[in-house]
Amino acid sequence: MQERIEQFKKMAEADPQNEMGHFSLGKAYFDDGQFDNAIASLTRTLELNPTYSKAYQLLGDAQAKAGNKDAALATLTKGFEVADERGDRMPRDAMAKTISELGGTPPASKHGGTAQATLAEGTDFNCSRCGRPSAKMAERPFKGALGELVWANVCQVCWREWIGVGTKVINEMGLQLADPRAQQIYDDHLKEFLQLPE
């Protein structure tokens, strides 16, 4: 765990404008029970990208774990609205659940549970990263189950963006993709960046 934290710290420092480095570091701190550090990294993530649904979710959880219920409720309420607007239903519903568990009342959804039903003509899904109604890319971006998941959820623009970011991840973290552990780290970043459904 400490090794993971050090790796993500290096990445966040090497590319301080990249929200993903801060998010991954925040998640590693969270998993390690370092909630104050997690809060700092996730707050930075949201400064860089205020529409990162999963960062609100994790920040709210970290604030709750750190004993700051009021901050958690404020974060999760804001996060719910962002996720609802983007059509990120899984983080949205998870935040609603946590708000209730903390004794709050989740805001009403403006978009219901039916984001998929309002798809524009000629589109296949709302992209998991940018939320835009999108058509599938002409071909699967790569083989395997993860490639299939990307193909079913991610638009061409976001996929291209990931290729740039993914290259940085490989270089900054010195990943050798022949090593299964390095491949796992790369895949984890890909899933986070593209906000793929679990």
Residue ranges that bind Zn ion, judged by CB under 5 A:
127, 129-130, 155, 158
Minimum CB distance to Zn ion, residue 28 (Å): 26
- Alpha helices (H) along the chain: 2-14, 19-31, 35-48, 53-65, 69-86, 89-101, 144-153, 156-173, 180-194
**Looking at beta carbons only, is 43 or 51 nearer to Zn ion?**
51
Residue 142 or 183: which CB sits closer to Zn ion? 142
DSSP 113-128: T-GGGGPPTT--EE-T
Task: Tell me the closest approach of the beta carbon of residue 132 to Zn ion, in angstroms.
Answer: 6
Q: How far is the CB of 154 from Zn ion (least distance, A)?
A: 6
Residue with Cβ nearer Zn ion (43 or 123) = 123
Helices 180-194 and 19-31 pack at an angle, to 10 degrees, of: 110
Nearer to Zn ion, 8 or 151 (CB): 151
**In angstroms, what is the minimal distance from the CB of 144 to Zn ion?**
21
Q: Residue 8: which of 194, 196, 185 has the closest Cα?
A: 185
Amino acid at 158: C
Q: Which positions ≥6 away from 50 have C-beta within 8 Å?
A: 82
Nearer to Zn ion, 68 or 123 (CB): 123
For residue 109, give the DSSP letter. Answer: P
Of residues 10 and 132, the one with the C-beta less far from Zn ion: 132
**How far apart are CB 46 and Zn ion at their closest, in Å?**
19
Measured in whole angstroms, the distance separating CA 116 from the mean position of its chain's CA atoms is 20
Report the C-alpha gap between 38 and 34 in whole angstroms: 6
CA distance 177 to 170: 8
Minimum distance from residue 12 beta carbon to Zn ion (Å): 24
